[in-house]
Structure formats: C-alpha cells, structure tokens
C-alpha cells in the first residue's frame, strides 16, 4: 500500500504557482511568434491575477519587456524567471510532477524524450534541475530520469486514483521493454497512488503525444470526469470516442459508484495549410485558483457549448476563455503549456 500521507494532489487543489515555458525564435513557433506570444500573454494575465507565475525562458529581459507592456505592476510582482535554454514550450510534459508530503513537497523529475523520441528534448529535459539549482523551487528532489513520463499523460483525483491511456503509456520509445503491469507498478510506487484506470480508446487526429489523457478526459471535483464526446457519425473519431465513452461509463470510484460524466463538445475540425487536421480539444483546460482557463478555437457556438459544460463541472470557478488557435498549429493547447505547483510548494 502507498503511504497515504504522501499524495499527488488533484489539479483543483489550491496552488502556489504555475509554470510557463515561453516561446522564442529558436523554437518551431518562429513563423507565428507574434501570435503565440499574444496567447502566452493572455495566459500570463489570467494566471498572475490569481497566483505566482514562473516563466522559463532563455531570454528573461525580452519576456519581461513583453510583460511590462501588457500587465499591471501588481501582476508583474507575481512573476519570477528561470533562465534556461529550451527546445520548446510544453511545460506540462517537461515540468516537475509534485507530490505533497508531511515534510514538504517532493519534486518528481521524470525523463522527457519528446513524446517517444519524435522531437529534440535534451534542453527541456534539464529545465527541472536548472529550476532547483536557481533556487526557484523548494522541496525534495526525486530522480526518476530512468523512466519516461509526461505530465499530460496522467490525471489524479487527489484520492489515490490515476487516469491514463494505454495508447500513450505503452507507446513505442517510452519505457520498453517494460510490460503494462510493470509500468503500472512503477507509477503506483512513484506517485504513491492506489490504482490506475486505463482508457484503451480515444485519440485526436494530429496529436503527437500518442493520446495524452489531458486531450481526452479529465478528473473534476466531486467524482466527475469531463471528456470529449463525438456525436457526428461522419467524424473519423466517432467510433473510438464512443468506445471511450462506454469505458468511462463502466468506471467506478473506489467506493463503487459511477463517475458523474460531463461531456464536452467535439471542437470544430481545424486543418493546417497542408490539409492535416489539428488536435483542437476542449479537454485541454487548466484548473487554477478560483478559475478554469478554457481553450477556445474561434467557433463561437462550440466555444460557448464547452463553456456551459465546464460550468457544470466547476460551478464555483470562473471560466476564462483563452484563444488557443495559435497553439494547435504546433499540435498542443492550453493545458499542455502549463504546469501547476500546489500550495505550500513555493
């Protein structure tokens, strides 16, 4: 049995800070850097109104200038910088996974290898150690660099249950030759969890992550799960997402009760200039202190439907839309860009 005094908090646990790893001209964002900077500034405005913001960047002076032009002095006072070279900007997947324990936070540093060696990640895989070296984070550092795990691939309800997809955690170039059973045992031990609910169905066209859980289904308070629902039989995702929905309906809480399911609409199909579908998803929201930052995709009707559904899952939170059309051009969205640190960990 895991030590019940050490746990991986749910995302709605009160937070001290959120990390953003800022875009720059040496990343794949270069062709649309101005547009993606606007998106990051929108996230920074919303987050710095509620908690501390940690920005990782090789160019602190440049990012500070952008922020000074966009934020109030009060919000600027809540921002700190970690100077570090970076490959990209997906803080969710290279960031620390933080456990809470009686003696303070425990920072789990897993290996990030570009989602199964698809993209360079050598610099991003060093960011966590640089943050500790610069004294930005406190707590006990725990080395798990012999095991590949991205933050977007797991969800915690804060009560010992982890939600994950078998498509991702068993994908090539992650942790072979470990079996599913061995991977599960390793995760339960590292995360001090009691069980994993494995989703075996569900994907998004254009997704580089091999079906991260945070693109498909998310734990919410009071034993709820918000998930992407597809009702269009002509959509290529229909069969898989119907099977995913059936599996979610079959899941039970530790007390043996069904989860309260909150369906999110399928985002309107968006394509790149080569006609490839991009992975727009409303499941990629960020829960933070008193608010849920929700990705929007320029379709007023569907954006509104998603907002109304999230209000059912988070009746006591503000729902704040962030235009994430620039983010999906690089196959991610809002949650992928952020990593939260629970209260008491800064």
CATH architecture observed for domain 15-342: 5-stranded Propeller (3.75)
What is the predicted pLDDT for the residue at 243?
98
Q: Could you tell me the CA-to-CA distances from 41 to 82, 201, 234, 295 in Å, in that order?
A: 17, 35, 37, 14
Q: What is the pTM of this model?
A: 0.97
What is the predicted pLDDT for the residue at 344?
84
User: Among 159, 173, 229, 221, which Cα is nearest to 201's?
Assistant: 229
Q: Are 213 and 4 in contact (CB under 8 A)?
A: no
The answer, yes or no, to whether residue 157 has pLDDT greater than 60, is yes
What are 158-215's pLDDT values in tens digits? Answer: 999 999 999 999 999 999 999 999 999 999 999 999 999 999 999 999 999 999 999 9
82 vs 268: CA distance, rounded Å: 37
Strands, sheet with 260-265, edge to edge from the N-terminal-most edge strand? 217-220, 224-229, 260-265
Q: Where are the domains of the chain?
A: 15-342
What are 105-123's pLDDT values in tens digits? Answer: 999 999 999 999 999 999 9
93 vs 83: CA distance, rounded Å: 18
Q: What is the pLDDT confidence band of residue 257, given thresholds at 50, 70 and 90?
A: very high
- Please provide the average confidence, as pLDDT, over all residues in the chain: 97
Q: Are 264 and 202 in contact (CB under 8 A)?
A: no
**How many CA atoms does the CB half-sphere of 284 hold within 13 Å?**
33
Strands, sheet with 318-323, edge to edge from the N-terminal-most edge strand? 286-288, 291-296, 318-323
Count CB neighbours of 107 within 10 A.
23
3-state class (DSSP) for residue 73: helix
User: Among 219, 209, 220, which Cα is nearest to 336's?
Assistant: 209
Q: What is the pLDDT confidence band of residue 281, given thresholds at 50, 70 and 90?
A: very high
Residue where the block lists tokens 């909150």: 262
What would the DSSP string read from start to end of 221-238? Answer: TTTEEEEEE---TTSTTH
The answer, yes or no, to whether residue 1 has pLDDT greater than 50, is no
The answer, yes or no, to whether residue 3 has pLDDT greater than 70, is no
| Residue 215 CB contacts under 8 Å (≥ 6 apart), including other chains | 152, 204, 207, 209, 228, 279, 281, 283, 284, 333
Q: What is the mean predicted confidence (pLDDT) over 268-287?
A: 96
Q: What is the mean predicted confidence (pLDDT) over 57-78?
A: 96
Q: What is the mean predicted confidence (pLDDT) over 50-76?
A: 96
| Burial (CB count <10 Å: 0-12, 13-18, 19+), residue 288 | buried
204 vs 165: CA distance, rounded Å: 13
User: Among 329, 326, 214, 235, which Cα is nearest to 281's?
Assistant: 214
What is the predicted pLDDT for the residue at 346?
80
């Amino acid at each position: 049995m895991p030590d019940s005094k050490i746990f991986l908090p749910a995302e709605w646990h009160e937070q001290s800070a959120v990390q953003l790893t800022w875009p720059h001209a040496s990343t794949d964002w270069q062709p649309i850097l101005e547009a993606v900077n606007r998106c990051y500034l929108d996230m920074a405005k919303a987050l710095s109104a509620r908690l501390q913001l940690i920005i990782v960047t090789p160019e602190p002076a440049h990012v500070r200038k952008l922020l000074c032009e966009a934020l109030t002095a009060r919000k600027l006072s809540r921002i700190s910088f970690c100077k570090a070279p970076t490959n990209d900007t997906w803080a969710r997947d290279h960031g620390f996974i933080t456990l809470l324990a009686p003696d303070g936070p425990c920072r789990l540093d897993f290996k990030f290898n570009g989602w199964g060696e698809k993209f360079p990640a050598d610099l991003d895989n060093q960011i966590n150690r640089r943050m500790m070296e610069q004294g930005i984070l406190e707590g006990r550092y725990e080395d798990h660099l012999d095991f590949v795990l991205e933050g977007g691939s797991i969800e915690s309800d804060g009560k010992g249950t982890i939600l994950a997809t078998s498509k991702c955690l068993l994908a090539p170039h992650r942790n072979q030759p470990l079996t599913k059973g061995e991977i599960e045992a390793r995760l339960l031990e590292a995360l001090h969890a009691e069980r994993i609910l494995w989703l075996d169905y569900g994907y998004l066209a254009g997704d580089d992550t091999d079906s991260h859980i945070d693109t498909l289904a998310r734990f919410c308070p009071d034993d709820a799960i918000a998930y992407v629902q597809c009702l269009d039989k002509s959509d290529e995702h229909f069969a898989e997402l119907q099977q995913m929905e059936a599996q979610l309906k079959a899941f039970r809480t530790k007390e043996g009760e069904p989860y309260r399911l909150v369906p999110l609409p399928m985002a309107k199909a968006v394509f790149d200039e080569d006609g490839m579908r991009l992975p727009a998803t409303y499941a990629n929201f960020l829960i933070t202190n008193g608010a849920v930052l929700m990705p929007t995709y320029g379709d007023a009707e569907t954006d509104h439907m998603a907002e109304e559904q999230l209000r059912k899952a988070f009746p006591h939170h503000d729902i704040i839309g962030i235009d994430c059309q620039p983010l999906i051009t690089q196959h991610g969205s809002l949650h992928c860009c952020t990593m939260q640190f629970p209260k008491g960990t800064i």
